[in-house]
Structure 1
Amino acid sequence: MEWYLNVLKNYAVFSGRARRKEYWLFILIHSVIATGLVIVDFQLQLYFILYMSYALVMLVPCMSVMVRRLHDIGRSGWWFFVSFVPAVGPIVLLVFLCLEGDREANQYGPSPKHTAA
């Protein structure tokens, strides 16, 4: 839960770097919450009002942590738009998000993994 809250604290920070652990734990908790809201919406017949509200609020934090994750592997945040290329784009983005970050400092800052260790 700490990783989820750290992303929310830095919700509009598009500079710097984010570790794989930070990104994927945030996505895991975000997915669990979103799934829970869909179930609640379905049970209460709210027509996805809770889920859509949550998704709208979380749009900027999700984008910022993805951009910082791309920075960790030395890629620009603009690489997010590769996901709009049919068929191969989402696969390329997924591979980028799974790659280990640069061990040394890159143009986006020092390594968050190796400075914390």
Structure 2
Amino acid sequence: MNAYSSFWQRYFDFKGYSTRKEYWVPTLVNIAIISILIGLIFVSSSSKLVWLVNILSGIVLIFVIAMIIPQIAVQVRRLHDINRKGFLVYLNLILGIVESFPREGSVLATIINFIGLIIGIWLFVYMCLGTREHVEKEKRLWI
């Protein structure tokens, strides 16, 4: 639970380091929370409890929005822990925003989606790597 409380306490900390545990515990707990809430939404939507679906949907929306900044921060700190800069996290965020604009059938959209997928896989691998000996900020690798 220490790792999960640290996730929320270090909301705007983009400069430090985070271990694998400090990254994976909150990530998996947040996935579990969202999955449970979405499961409750599906169960409630089959009945006449529209008000409950609306409330649960609002809770999920607020939770996901509240989770965006600390999730980015913990990813950047995790990259610092393996001597990388946070560039990939920011690039992935920008690509995610660009991907959200509808452009069906566009070759550019397909290329951007593919690049986003590759960066997402790359980040996943980086999040799994162990801690490395820390170096000065200027000597960290971009990618």
Q: Indicate the TM-score class for this superposition, using the shorter chain for normalisation.
A: 0.7 to 0.9
**Is the counterpart of residue 58 in structure 1 residue 67 in structure 2?**
yes
Unpaired stretches in structure 2, ≥5 consecutive residues: 45-51, 96-114, 138-143
Two-structure CA RMSD over aligned residues (Å) = 1.8
SS at match of 2:136: coil
Note closer, same or farther for the CA distance 1:106–1:34 as it changes in structure 2 (3 Å cut): same
The SS at the match of 1:88 is helix
User: Taking structure 1 as the reference length, what is the TM-score of the superposition?
Assistant: 0.81
Which stretch of structure 1 is more off in the superposition, 73-82 or 43-52? 43-52
> How many equivalent pairs are there?
107
Question: Matches of 2:29 and 2:117 in 1, distance apart?
Answer: 27
1:89 aligned residue = 119
2:85 maps to what in 1?
76
Q: Which has the larger radius of gyration?
A: 2
Which structure shows the higher helix fraction? 2
Alpha carbons of 1:87 and 1:75: their partners in 2 closer, same or farther (altered >3 Å)?
Answer: same
Deviates more, 1:54-63 or 1:88-97: 88-97
List structure 1 runs of 4+ shifted beyond 4 angstroms. none
Are 1:70 and 1:97, in contact at CA under 8 Å, matched by a contact in 2? yes
Q: Which runs of 5+ in 1 are unaligned?
A: 109-117
The answer to whether structure 1 residue 99 and structure 2 residue 129 are counterparts is: yes
Percent identity between the aligned chains? 31
Q: Report the equivalent of 2:36.
A: 36
Alignment correspondent of 2:103: none
> Is the 8 Å Cα contact of residues 79 and 86 (structure 2) preserved in structure 1?
yes
> CA 1:12/1:87 → structure 2, altered by over 3 Å: closer, same or farther?
closer
Please list the CA deviations of residues 39-84 of structure 1 after superposition, one character each: whole Å capped at 9, or x if unmatched. Answer: 3334222272211110001111111101000111111111112574
